Structure 1
């Protein structure tokens, strides 16, 4: 058995290492595409064009304007005397948001009363509108907190706010880790599926059936190169993540071990795809048909908490969801196996179920 298995693995490694297209795709997904997709899919919107209507014209209203434009979120495009003056600018897309400060704003704050502000957001781009609205609410809440804190400080009470794990509240770190996980999922599914179906389509599977080779030996030979190469590709990805400012707080050995477990679950999906398809075209179509739900249910595109209850339960079957939690915990929180063991068990369960299904179907074909 071991001699046959070693020969099959040697053949598979030779085929992969001699294929420049596969090697390029592995390197590209773990390097260039990681950077490109992270920067392209970053949901941190900056330099939004802000218009201001200040009816109060006091120190408090000027402070609000300064707070809104102090960071990178908003750029003060212009100040207006009336809301009617901004309608044309909003229609032309020259403004993303408008804040209207009513008269008596400073007096209401000094009296400790509620002071409302008017906010108009261009909703033609839903993502930008949602971010602009969130930025305005966050900045104004911080302004109110600072005013309240000043009053509390006079009585000896000073609240302190600390943000753990991502102090600057950017989405770049999370997206970079999500792209790392997606690269492993795509390669883990597509490469073994294509390798097994290629044997079917080329007719060599018939030749293997008349040899002493066992089905499980063929399975092991087909999946091992993908796991080894993708695990090795993590090292250049770590260097790129470091250049992008993603801190590695956890243990690299734990990362590699859990990466192997994740790749096993991804490969098991690819093996199952290979058992239900007969041509390379079918395998690729079915692979991508399954990849999109796994991606959407992983929490990388939309928070899992915002999904319906039945989809939240279905997301537990996505290997990507568990691995994103693993790499986020390892990189950003410094978590160890003690905190991540439940995700590892979930990945092992997914692998066992998919390998069992693929094994039963392949045994009938073998």
Structure 2
């Protein structure tokens, strides 16, 4: 009996070539992605972007600025027209990981002001460590003069959590969990195709698009409710203020649920069996979540992975929630984020309908 079961399952996997490839190729690919992320983070060689400004013509300021330009391992973003406020804006919007202002100080080493985002405190700590080492190597002294300020507006999440990085994980967790849940719900489409139910449903008005739109709306509704639970937990147990941002949070939650649902239905349309769906959906969610910032903040990744993360739904969802709750951005100032989220959701739904229609006609 045991041999018969083993043989049956082995033959089933062997005959499903798609599942066979996915089962033995994707684990190595996932390992390579995680290895690239965590080897960079643990090795201290983070690809940090530092918005930089040297104030005035003081010789000590100029000398220190020149030294940092030559010896620092982080990427320096510099514009002679930038003021301290411009640097805060760069960090607040995520265009730089850290801001650094070097200004003169009477009778002492130049003053260094670090501009940080609470969700990227590690980045500020790494930059400080590098500067301390550079100072020690060049002058034999390790003392430094740092002042740290936040790039986020004082009005952002008033009386909110002591650890402002909590707001980052609302979007990061929401898109991760909603993608997993939507993938599970969308997998029923495969059974419907194989049993002929989808073919009978497509005879009705609207065909594949109408059939998938019904599933899309149901998965979106469930996703919105799941996002509400996450936001409620953030409010009740971590002190994240939500009432001032209620309208934006509703929009973000609907968009996140729609995007997760569209991606799930598109993935289900690509898969021929439940085994393929299980493997592909797990791979897609893990890959997007790792590269997009749900598992590890993107600033801790190699530069090429940071750029790749922009193509993931996680990146845009995190930008939406964090922009509202932490950066103090208005709903209208985040129009580019909403555009990507909602347009992507509808495009994925349309592609899923086209694929389903073609599969039913084969």
TM-score, length-normalised on structure 1? 0.52
Contact 2:180–2:285 (8 Å) recurs in 1: yes
1:363 to 348, 357, 361: 357
Say whether 1:281 aligns with 2:275: yes
The residue number in structure 2 matching 1:303 is 298
Q: Which moved more, 1:135-144 or 1:238-247?
A: 135-144
CA drift at 1:240: 0.9
The residue number in structure 1 matching 2:145 is 144
Change beyond 3 A, Cα 1:112–1:364: closer
The residue number in structure 2 matching 1:241 is 234
CA drift at 1:291: 1.3
1:346 to 340, 346, 356: 340
Change beyond 3 A, Cα 1:336–1:250: farther
Change beyond 3 A, Cα 1:259–1:236: closer
The residue number in structure 2 matching 1:228 is 221
Change beyond 3 A, Cα 1:275–1:239: closer
Contact 1:250–1:330 (8 Å) recurs in 2: no
Say whether 1:174 aligns with 2:177: no
Q: Which moved more, 1:250-259 or 1:299-308?
A: 299-308
CA drift at 1:287: 0.9
Say whether 1:272 aligns with 2:266: yes
The residue number in structure 1 matching 2:73 is none
Change beyond 3 A, Cα 1:356–1:314: farther
The residue number in structure 1 matching 2:322 is 328
Say whether 1:255 aligns with 2:249: yes
CA drift at 1:209: 4.5
Contact 1:249–1:333 (8 Å) recurs in 2: no
Counterpart Cα distance in 2 of 1:348 and 1:272: 15
Q: Which runs of 5+ in 1 are unaligned?
A: 1-110, 115-128, 147-159
Counterpart Cα distance in 1 of 2:188 and 2:212: 10
When Rg is computed on C-alpha atoms for both structures, the one with the higher figure is: 1
Counterpart Cα distance in 2 of 1:312 and 1:132: 20
For the residue of structure 1 that corresponds to 2:178, the secondary structure is helix
The 5-angstrom pairing of residues 1-366 of structure 1 reads 144-145=145-146, 161=149, 164=152, 171-188=165-182, 190-209=183-202, 214-242=207-235, 243-248=237-242, 250-300=244-294, 301-304=296-299, 306-309=301-304, 311-366=305-360
CA drift at 1:352: 3.7
Aligned residues: 228
Counterpart Cα distance in 1 of 2:164 and 2:171: 13
Change beyond 3 A, Cα 1:305–1:199: same
Contact 1:177–1:327 (8 Å) recurs in 2: yes
Counterpart Cα distance in 2 of 1:299 and 1:320: 7
CA drift at 1:327: 0.6
Change beyond 3 A, Cα 1:194–1:328: same
Residues 109-128 of structure 1 show CA distances to partners (whole Å, capped at 9, x for unaligned) of xx9589xxxxxxxxxxxxxx
Change beyond 3 A, Cα 1:284–1:330: same
Change beyond 3 A, Cα 1:195–1:186: same
Contact 2:216–2:261 (8 Å) recurs in 1: yes
Change beyond 3 A, Cα 1:113–1:212: closer
For the residue of structure 2 that corresponds to 1:247, the secondary structure is coil
Change beyond 3 A, Cα 1:202–1:304: farther
Change beyond 3 A, Cα 1:249–1:206: closer
Q: Which runs of 5+ in 2 are unaligned?
A: 1-106, 111-121, 134-141
Counterpart Cα distance in 2 of 1:173 and 1:254: 14
For the residue of structure 1 that corresponds to 2:329, the secondary structure is coil
For the residue of structure 1 that corresponds to 2:342, the secondary structure is helix
Residues 304-351 of structure 1 show CA distances to partners (whole Å, capped at 9, x for unaligned) of 585334x44432321111010111111223322221110111123322
Residues 255-291 of structure 1 show CA distances to partners (whole Å, capped at 9, x for unaligned) of 2123222222221211111112122222121111211
TM-score, length-normalised on structure 2? 0.53
Contact 1:275–1:361 (8 Å) recurs in 2: yes
